[in-house]
Amino acid sequence: MSETFKAILVSRDADKKQSVAMTDLTEADLMEGDVTVAVEATTVNYKDGLAITGKAPVIRRWPLVPGIDFAGTVISSSNPDWRKGDKVILNGWGVGETHFGAYAGRARVKGDWLVPLPEGISAHDAMAVGTAGYTAMLCVMALERHGILSDRGPVVVTGAAGGVGSVAVSILSSLGYHVIASTGRNAESPYLIDLGAAEVISRDELSQPAKPLAKERWAGGIDSVGSHTLANVLSMTSYGGAVAACGLAGGMDLPSSVAPFILRGVSLLGIDSVMAPKAVRLEAWRRIGADLDLQKLASLSTTIGFDNIMDAARDIVDGKIRGRVVVDM
């Protein structure tokens, strides 16, 4: 008899009503791919919360095992780049959206989707980073390419107590930036200061309809919120500055104007982590290994068991999760 392993399966009935259940699968149930991985750690991202709760159309194949991130060990491979025993990470590529994802004891994927686990980083640590932290690093790299270095002035991070925000605050502060952290949870101010924020502001300052141009407050920003928040961040960015946009926790709309772009030369940098080329991923994970303080990483993450994933998914959508959630399998 084939070995079984635990999995979370999201299904939909004829009336398109979604249901989520724990189940047992075998490797025969997995989807196509040339590498099979024993999943050792995963995480709960905001997108995972949306997938499990059904509050946004993340899942586009039914039934599906959700979970967009994992770290683990290769147990079989027909891909020349990977051998049994290799330690690997997966972020994105439609896994947990159109391809069976991380919330199972095994995953079968394309080898081209994998990157090696960096030296000195455990599977647990890699998932404390996860897609949220990897996306935060992509944002930092984009700001750097645009010339927004620490000597240009403050950088604002919105949704700062969330997964992307927490890692962004930590990375930016370690690189010497003056970080302004925006959060809707005032009680998290000490946490954000500990991560390296120089200032903490209320999200209320950025949540109302934006003026075409407002007082210049920062040289750049990392935004995971969207909507009015992103519009305000753009209107308050100084001449020649740039904002990296990577999320939509506050909405997909952007009620802004062209004023920041044509009167201040501000740039809006779109960040996609799902389909980013492998070379970019490798550089992001190299930088994570070099620039992210692992002690801070421990302070911004919470560890749960597999059986607690569904509760954590609901909590993250409801804004009750601080930092990162690691699932030890």
What CATH number corresponds to the domain at position 164?
3.40.50.720
3-class DSSP assignment, residue 252: coil
Helical H segments across the chain, by residue range = 46-53, 123-145, 163-174, 189-195, 227-235, 259-263, 278-291, 294-299, 309-317
Name the token pair of 186. 């005032």
So what's the pLDDT on residue 77? 98
- pLDDT tens-place string over residues 31-49: 999 999 999 999 999 999 9
The pLDDT of residue 1 is 47
Q: Is residue 66 part of a domain?
A: yes
Q: Are residues 112 and 141 in the same domain?
A: no
The tally of domains found in the chain comes to 2
Q: List the CATH number of the domain containing 300.
A: 3.90.180.10
CA distances to 226, 245, 284, 285 from 251, rounded to whole Å, are 6, 12, 27, 28
- Residue ranges making up the domain that contains 66: 4-117+295-328
- Give the residue-averaged pLDDT of 128-141: 96
Q: What angle do CA 166, 280, 312 make, to 5 degrees?
A: 35
147 and 257 both lie in a single domain: yes
The answer on 186 and 101 residing in a single domain is: no
Question: Is 44 a domain residue?
Answer: yes
State pLDDT tens for residues 214-249: 999 999 999 999 999 999 999 999 999 999 999 999
Give pLDDT tens digits for 143-182.
Answer: 999 999 999 999 999 999 999 999 999 999 999 999 999 9
64: confidence class by pLDDT, cuts 50, 70, 90: very high
- Residues 85 and 199 reside in one and the same domain: no
Q: Of 270, 304, 320, which residue is a domain's last?
A: 270
Q: Which residues contact 233 (CB under 8 A, 6 or more apart)?
A: 156, 158, 206, 218, 221, 223, 243
How would residue 72 be classed by pLDDT, with cut points 50, 70 and 90? very high
294 pLDDT above the threshold of 90: no
Residues 226 and 266 in one domain: yes
Based on the fold, state whether residues 112 and 140 are members of the same structural domain.
Answer: no
CA atoms within 13 A on the CB side of 53: 17
155 token code pair: 């950088």
Decide if 122 is inside a domain: no
267 pLDDT higher than 70:
yes
249: its two tokens: 């926790």
Residue 145 sits in the same domain as residue 235: yes
Would you say residue 244 lies in a domain?
Answer: yes
Write out the H or E segment, with its range, that includes residue 239.
strand 237-245
- 264 and 144 in a common domain: yes
- Whether residue 282 is contained in a domain is answered as no
